[in-house]
Amino acid sequence: MSKTKAAFVCQNCGFSSPKWLGRCPDCSSWNSFVEEETVVRPASRGVSYREPVLLHTVESLEQERMKVGMQELDRVLGGGVVRGSVVLVGGDPGIGKSTISLQLCQKLAHSGKKILYVSGEESIQQTKMRADRLGAGPQDSFFIVNVTDLDAVIDAVKKFLPDLVVVDSIQVVYSPGLSSSAGSVSQVRECAGILTQLAKQTGISIVLIGHVTKEGMIAGPRVLEHIVDTVLYFEGERFSSYRILRAIKNRFGSTNEIGVFEMGARGLEEVGNPSQIFLAERPKEVSGSAVVPVLEGTRPILIEVQALVSKANFGVTRRKTQGIDYNRLSLLAAVLEKRLSLKLFDKDIFVNVVGGMKIDDPAIDLAVCLAVASSIEDKVIGFDTVLLGEVGLGSEVRSVANIALRVNEAQKLGFKKCILPRSNAQALKEWKDAGMKLIAVSDLSEAMKALWKG
């Protein structure tokens, strides 16, 4: 028999302590400990023993996937929903978690799959209103139930035996065996663990919708992210129409893929060519604007980087970034000041990645540097020019991966000139007569000469 014991649990990270603490020693959050009852299971006595086998004698089984029919979503999932897998979808309130889950159910139900939608936060009528707004037609294999009791959820799953179960959301589902309130770390961990075990035993795929904390993390992140198979996060501004779905963890696919959607009146619509979207309102003849082809998984995307340099007030300089790492901007500003003698010590620097994208690709370094230089010198970067390359501390421009994909995407959108690392240019000799001029540079000084003196 399982027993329960009282403990103080951090509601941000799940750290457990026998006594109350003002500050969590694990995540450093203040006043986050709440007394909860945790389940203590006795050690198993009669553990069955299995004889080890040779790895090469194990039969390889290909994972069966259910194709959703939305290319952006299928790409992020690695080709579709794997049977028996557990997918966690997180994001800010109102960003589209329930919308995309309902669209996922509609697509699979239309293809003949049996779907069970567990609506814990909304009534059945409210969910029906949202489904009508999304243009859902009558489907004989799409079932919905409004329950929050975990035992009732399990009974419904065993009764209907669907192909896919959506739980909206995991924070409102509770286990009657625990006295702690729904949404606490103990409840979230226990319910997610039981549902995951159910998915593995029955082969039913389960999608869990998770709320986020004020820091932008799913409540109980370490607990949930270790339990489930796939973690998907929605990115983007809540009041912007564009959404980016990114795979943070995926046991059955790549974690580098993203899906781009646009929120419309009929739900989330796929964006087939996000490069055109991010460059649609790019200003002409304005300094501080540069375009760079970044790589998100296997997909090249052209984005605009904007920089604004202005004189600091009262001698206190500021460095503000949106979409790139703040420390990276500080490093690149130091390189510009030291190697190119640009006077930035008394200047405020603001850098923004248009469209709400968050970029970790080092190929953006050259575009950031030249956008800052363009702003401080008030010189315009050519409207048909793209820039890419990693910048080192010696101002050298280093090579980046998958250069052919990046240049090809820029050429498709009509760009005529590309400034790139010299080591990458040697691998693109065939592009000389392909309608795009390649300018190879070794350092930032050469790149600036190529832009404004060449």
pLDDT tens per residue, range 248-257: 899 988 887 8
Q: How many domains does the chain have?
A: 3
8 Å CB contact between 417 and 386:
yes
Q: Which of 242, 235, 305, 236 is nearest to 271 (CA)?
A: 242
DSSP symbols for 269-309: EE-S-HHHHHTTTPPSS-TTEEEEEEEETTEEEEEEEEEEE
Query: Hey, which of 6-10, 23-27, 53-57, 160-164 has the most confident mean pLDDT?
Result: 160-164
Residues 107 and 7 in one domain: no
DSSP code at position 93? T
End-to-end CA distance of the chain: 79
SS3 (DSSP) at 418: strand
CA pseudo-torsion sign 150, 154, 155, 161 = positive
Q: Is residue 95 part of a domain?
A: yes
Predicted pLDDT of residue 38? 64
Residue in the structure block whose two tokens are 């904007």: 306
More confident residue, 429 or 2: 429
Residues 257 and 280 in one domain: no
Boundaries of domain holding 189 = 65-272
Given 217, 238, 272, the domain boundary residue is 272
Predicted pLDDT of residue 328? 95
Given 239, 272, 305, the domain boundary residue is 272
Report the 10 Å Cβ neighbour count for 241: 13
142-188: pLDDT as tens digits: 999 999 999 999 999 999 999 999 998 898 999 888 777 788 888 88
Report the 10 Å Cβ neighbour count for 415: 22
Q: Report the C-alpha dihedral over residues 372, 377, 383, 386, rounded to 10 degrees.
A: -40
Predicted pLDDT of residue 41? 59
On whether the pTM is more than 0.85, the answer is: no
Q: Is residue 157 part of a domain?
A: yes
Alpha-carbon Rg of the chain, whole angstroms? 26
CA pseudo-torsion sign 126, 128, 131, 135 = negative
Predicted pLDDT of residue 364? 96
Q: Which of 235, 237, 196 is nearest to 90 (CA)?
A: 235
Residues 294 and 388 in one domain: yes
| CATH number of 142's domain | 3.40.50.300
Q: Is residue 58 part of a domain?
A: no
Q: Report the C-alpha dihedral over residues 295, 297, 300, 302, rounded to 10 degrees.
A: -60
Residues 88 and 187 in one domain: yes
Q: Is residue 51 part of a domain?
A: no
Q: Is residue 56 part of a domain?
A: no
Numbered residues of the known binding site for ATP: 91-98
Q: Is residue 419 part of a domain?
A: yes
CA pseudo-torsion sign 93, 278, 263, 145 = negative
Report the 10 Å Cβ neighbour count for 2: 8
Residues 89 and 112 in one domain: yes
Q: What is the helix (H) or strand (E) element at residue 352, kind and residue range?
A: strand 347-353
Q: Which two tokens stand for residue 99?
A: 């919308």
Residues 125 and 265 in one domain: yes
Residues 207 and 144 in one domain: yes
Q: Which of 384, 373, 215, 235 is nearest to 302 (CA)?
A: 384
Q: Is residue 227 part of a domain?
A: yes
Given 235, 257, 272, the domain boundary residue is 272
Backbone phi and psi for residue 333, each to the nearest 5 degrees, phi listed first: -65, -35
196-233: pLDDT as tens digits: 999 999 999 999 998 776 555 555 545 788 889 999 98
Residues 284 and 263 in one domain: no
Average pLDDT, integer, range 390-404: 93
Residues 89 and 18 in one domain: no
Residues 227 and 90 in one domain: yes
d(CA 320, CA 145): 47
Residues found in the chain: 454
Residue in the structure block whose two tokens are 């790019």: 282
Q: Which of 258, 194, 257 is nearest to 228 (CA)?
A: 194
Q: C-alpha 75: how far from its chain's center?
A: 13
Q: Is residue 434 part of a domain?
A: yes
Work out the percent of the chain whose per-residue pLDDT is above 70: 92
Report the 10 Å Cβ neighbour count for 133: 13
47, pLDDT greater than 70: no
Amino acid identity of 136?
A
d(CA 159, CA 113): 16
Residue in the structure block whose two tokens are 């270790």: 226
Q: C-alpha 176: how far from its chain's center?
A: 33
More confident residue, 379 or 15: 379
312, pLDDT greater than 80: yes
Max Cα–Cα distance, the chain, nearest Å: 79
Numbered residues of the known binding site: 91-98
More confident residue, 304 or 214: 304
Residues 436 and 358 in one domain: yes
Predicted pLDDT of residue 46? 47
| CATH number of 347's domain | 3.30.230.10
Predicted pLDDT of residue 164? 95
Predicted pLDDT of residue 217? 54
Q: Report the C-alpha dihedral over residues 114, 118, 122, 127, rounded to 10 degrees.
A: 0
Residues 299 and 333 in one domain: yes
